[in-house]
């Protein structure tokens, strides 16, 4: 479909093909749709990169092998705030790697020895305990299903 319209000063729309518009500006053709397509591709690439880095960043691994090593390493730090910050990071990493007992022991250490009112440590305790409870309930349901399956096979 060919159309010819005056758009603005020195601009004439000569053709519309889907999303692509060919515009004459001072006698030079410009494809407006392709620019939008490039912008959309760039936006998609940026969104994918942010998502990828977000997933990689959220699945951080603890720097120490266990909570005892993390606590020993934190004792080398100068201030209590630095120790708490380091230990909270380690505890969150242990939660991400499903080592809930390690994160609980770190949170208890923070509350007992470093900062009795630490909101972060209390949050870690609550989160780890909730995750442990959910994991235990899942295991119980799996055991029930397996037991029921075995009982049904014995009854036949």
List, for residues 18-58, the tens digit of each pLDDT value.
555 655 566 655 555 555 566 667 666 766 666 665 555 55
The Cα 8–Cα 99 span in angstroms is 65
pTM of the model: 0.54
- Does residue 76 sit in the same domain as residue 140? yes
85 and 114 inside one domain: yes
- 134 and 79 in a single domain? The answer is yes
Task: In whole angstroms, give the CA distance from residue 94 to residue 60.
Answer: 9
Residue 71 has pLDDT above 90, yes or no: no
23, 75: one domain:
no
What the block records as the tokens of 81 is 């705030």
The tokens describing 107, both together, are 């949170």
51 and 81 fall within a common domain: no
Per-residue pLDDT, averaged over 83-89, amounts to 90
Pair 8, 34 in one domain: yes
Q: Where on the phi/psi map is residue 81: left (φ > 0), alpha (ψ -120 to 50), or beta?
A: alpha
pLDDT, tens digit (0-9, with 9 covering 90-100), for 105-155:
898 999 888 888 888 889 999 998 898 999 999 999 999 999 998 888 887
Reduced to 3 states (helix: H, G, I; strand: E, B; else coil), residue 10 is coil
Is 95 in contact with 128 (CB distance < 8 Å)? yes
**Do both 17 and 84 map to the same domain?**
no
| pLDDT classification of 1: cutoffs 50, 70, 90 | very low
Structural domain of 105:
67-155
Distance, first Cα to last Cα, the chain: 73
In 10 A of CB 120, how many CB atoms?
A: 17
Query: Which pLDDT value is given to residue 152?
Result: 85
- The verdict on 82 and 49 lying in the same domain is no
Q: What's residue 19's pLDDT? A: 52
Q: 108 CB contacts (<8 Å, ≥6 apart)? A: 121, 125
Contact between 102 and 95 under an 8 Å Cβ cutoff? The reply is no
């Amino acid at each position: 479909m060919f159309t010819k319209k005056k758009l603005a000063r020195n601009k004439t729309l000569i053709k519309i093909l889907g999303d692509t518009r060919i515009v004459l500006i001072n006698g030079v053709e410009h494809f407006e749709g392709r620019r939008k397509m490039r912008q959309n591709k760039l936006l998609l690439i940026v969104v994918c990169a942010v998502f990828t880095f977000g997933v990689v960043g959220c699945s951080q691994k603890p720097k120490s092998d266990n909570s005892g090593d993390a606590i020993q390493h934190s004792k080398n730090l100068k201030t209590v705030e630095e120790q708490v910050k380091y230990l909270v990071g380690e505890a969150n990493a242990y939660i991400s790697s499903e080592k809930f007992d390690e994160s609980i022991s770190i949170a208890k250490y923070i509350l007992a020895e470093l900062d009795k009112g630490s909101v972060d440590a209390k949050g870690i305790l609550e989160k780890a305990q909730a995750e442990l409870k959910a994991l235990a309930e899942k295991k119980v349901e799996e055991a029930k299903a397996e037991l029921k399956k075995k009982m049904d096979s014995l009854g036949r």
